[in-house]
Structure 1
Amino acid sequence: MAGGILWLASYPKSGNTWVRIFLENLFRDAARPVSINELNVVGFGDAHIPLYERIAGRPVAGMDDAALHALREPLQRHLANRPETSIVKTHNILADYEGRPLIHLAYSMGAIYIVRNVFDVTVSLARHYDRSVADTVEAICSPAMKTPTTAAAVFQILGPWWDHYRSWTTVPGFQPLVLRYEDMKAKPLKAFQKVVKFLNLPAGPDRVAKAVKFSSFEEVSRQERAAGFRERVRADHVFFHSGRVGGWRQHLSQDQVARLIDVHGEVLRELGYLDKQGRPTV
């Protein structure tokens, strides 16, 4: 293995794209913010159809999910054998699916795992995929949670929110940097300095502060309003919607909150999203 794969892993709508934009601005160190439609530092996503077509040597239209899944190992081997480290975005759970790994740790040199409280993730997912909040509550609690294969992306296996987090953070000998979205919002400079330290990058405080400023929610939402964002699911859908912490309180019923706590409570407590009385802290 040459450079190996550094994973940027998260449940969807947890801040993965924010970290990618930060890294783009950090590495380029330009005088102006990088366009959100020109993200090349994290130039790979393990669901992107063009990568699978490159490995297959032909269009993958018409392939079933089993055939696509079989391409993950040679794809990840290819990325790991590049001279430089391949920084790769993923929403997959770190687990096997139908007898094959979704993530091949043999090709991995590390990971950054971004986690966001399940309450805000649920509301954001419902908006992102145009589903009801009630349906999304059940989906995010289900072992069957996945995203389907589309013209742009190969299916991803998510599983329930709690299991996704545990899958990435409890592998013996594999220690990702864990970033809480809420800490990134509250103290972005401190949070992103952890990324710089984890990656052992020679970036001084002024450069880091500039990258934080250039990747702020205000900046990326301004860019999306002006020029759109090619990664959004629907043309009429705003990707950078609000980025608020605690916005779920206007959308989830007490029963829905109780359901989420019942399923995910242990990890919610572990991450500080519930207080000692079992009440949400965010």
Structure 2
Amino acid sequence: MGGIIWLASYPKSGNTWMRSFLQNVILGGQNTVHINELSQFAYGDGQKIWYEQAAGGSIDGLSAEQKMKLTPRAHMAMTRSRPQSVFVKTHNWMGLTYDTHLITMEATAGAIHIIRNPLDVSISLAHHFGFSIDESIEFMSDPEAQTAEDDYKMPQYYGSWSDHTKSWDRLNPQYMHRVRYEDMLTKPGKTFSEVLKFLQIKVPKSTLAKAIKQSSFKTLQSQEKKDGFLERSDKAESFFRSGKAGEWKSVLTDEQVKKIVDTHHDVMEKYGYLKGL
């Protein structure tokens, strides 16, 4: 039995990209991994199948609080599913809901936390959820921001963009590696090498380079156009839309930029997102 290595991020910040890279590099780059196979590699923390295992049967009829209380047991079920550590995707903040920790420390081996400029996140999030840009900005400012339970997934508790980002600082830095989306774009070799170093995974440079190419935005977008993507929101025409950094400069109004910066100033400054404004 291993522990969970969380692949954590606010939505639309590069989590799928990171999962694709890791699966491609671990498989040695022999065949390009398809985006619809990613859930076989990295579990989703909200998948109800784990909560049903924790409950020993169906969770239909349980209250929201009763379901959430199953979270620690669901996480432990994930750790027992493989002999080594298991990657688990999460968009949850590291906090409490119904007095239950959304991230179970007893099951945790480490975490990779991916962040992206909230100015760009606001645009991608709007497309993903079918929001207007202003609605997206309000959502990202809401300390109670969350998505509802559906037939397959538990609710996801995001909090505001700033609260989400700061919450992951609670994890011992020895066990947490933070990655900026923008660095994944502009210096992939260095950035992904550091990810592998954190995970203590050693591969030839040729395998690293191939995995970076196999998980590129162009590759993922092409796969979605051909076969669709199971994780695409029904509110969006596509999951892989632009993949750029700095799109906010041509999309957001001065007022929208000011609202985001005023709300998230301190965290944006900490991670270099106020440069060039």
Give the TM-score category using the shorter length. over 0.9
From the superposition, tell whether residues 204 and 182 of structure 1 become closer, same or farther in structure 2 (CA, over 3 Å). Answer: same
- Residue aligning to 2:268: 268
Shift in alpha-carbon separation, 1:146–1:236, aligned structure 2, 3 A: closer
Partner of 1:18: 17
Q: Deviations over 1:217-238 (max 9, x none)?
A: 1111111111111111228620
Note the C-alpha offset of 1:175.
Answer: 4.0
Structure 1 residue 115 corresponds to structure 2 residue 115: yes
- Confirm or deny: 8 A CA contact 1:24 1:41 kept in the other structure: no
Measured after TM superposition, the shift of residue 259 of structure 1 is 1.1
Q: Which has more helix, going by share of residues?
A: 2
Tell me the equivalent position of 2:4.
5
Unaligned runs of 5+ in 1: none
Q: Mean alpha-carbon deviation: is it higher for 24-33 or for 87-96? A: 24-33
Aligned-partner Cα distance in 1 for 2:133–2:162: 18
CA distance, structure 2, for counterparts of residue 254 and residue 236 of structure 1 = 26
8 Å Cα contact 2:29/2:210 also seen in 1: no
User: Is 2:74 the partner of 1:75?
Assistant: yes
Distance 2:95 2:219 in 1: 36
SS at match of 2:143: coil
Q: Give the deviation of 1:51 after TM superposition.
A: 2.1
RMSD over equivalenced CA pairs, Å: 1.7
- Whole-Å Cα distance in 2 between the matches of residues 38 and 222 of structure 1? 15
Q: Distance in 2 between matches of 1:91 and 1:58?
A: 25
Paired residues for 1:65-104 under 5 Å:
65-81=64-80, 82-104=82-104
C-alpha distance in 1, partners of 2:236/2:181? Answer: 26
Deviation at 1:251, TM superposition (A): 2.7
Shift of 1:201: 0.8
| Contact 1:43–1:87 (CA under 8 A) maintained in structure 2 | yes
Q: Is contact 2:50-2:78 (8 Å) kept? A: no
**Contact 1:4/1:108 (CA < 8 Å) preserved in 2?**
yes
Answer yes or no: is the 8 Å Cα contact 2:53–2:77 preserved in 1: no
Partner residue, 1:38: 37
Partner of 2:133: 133
1:144 corresponding residue in structure 2 = 144
Indicate the residue corresponding to 1:167 in structure 2. 167
The aligned counterpart of 2:257 is: 257
Equivalent position SS for 1:178: strand
CA distance in 1, matches of 2:142, 2:198: 32
TM superposition shift of 1:32: 3.0
Contact 1:65 1:149 in 2 (8 A): no
Is contact 1:41–1:87 with CA below 8 Å preserved after alignment? Answer: no
Give me the whole-angstrom Cα distance separating, in 1, the residues matched to 2:60 and 2:16: 27
- Displacement of 1:3 in angstroms is 0.8
Equivalent position SS for 2:207: helix
Distance 2:6 2:173 in 1: 16
Residue 155 (structure 1) aligns with: 155
Give me the whole-angstrom Cα distance separating, in 2, the residues matched to 1:54 and 1:238: 32
Structure 1 residue identity aligned to 2:59: V
Instruction: Give the CA deviation at 1:173.
Output: 5.7
Deviates more, 1:63-72 or 1:20-29: 63-72
SS where residue 114 of structure 1 aligns? strand
Tell me the SS of whatever aligns to 1:18.
helix
Residue 128 of structure 1 aligns to which amino acid in structure 2? Answer: H
Q: How many angstroms apart in 2 are the aligned matches of 1:94 and 1:54?
A: 23
Distance in structure 1 (CA, Å) of the matches to 2:62 and 2:182: 39
Q: Is the 8 A contact 1:27 1:41 kept in 2?
A: no
Greater mean deviation of Cα atoms: 43-52 or 232-241: 232-241
Kept in 1, the 8 Å contact 2:50–2:77? The answer is no
Query: Is 2:141–2:160's contact at 8 Å kept on the other side of the alignment?
Result: yes
How high is the sequence identity, in percent, across the aligned residues? 38
Alignment check: 8 A CA contact 1:24 1:40 kept: no
Length-normalised TM-score, structure 1? 0.92
Structure 1 residues 72 and 174: alpha-carbon distance in aligned structure 2, compared to 1, 3 A threshold = farther
Q: Give the letter aligned to residue 100 of structure 2.
A: R
Q: Paired residues, what number? A: 276
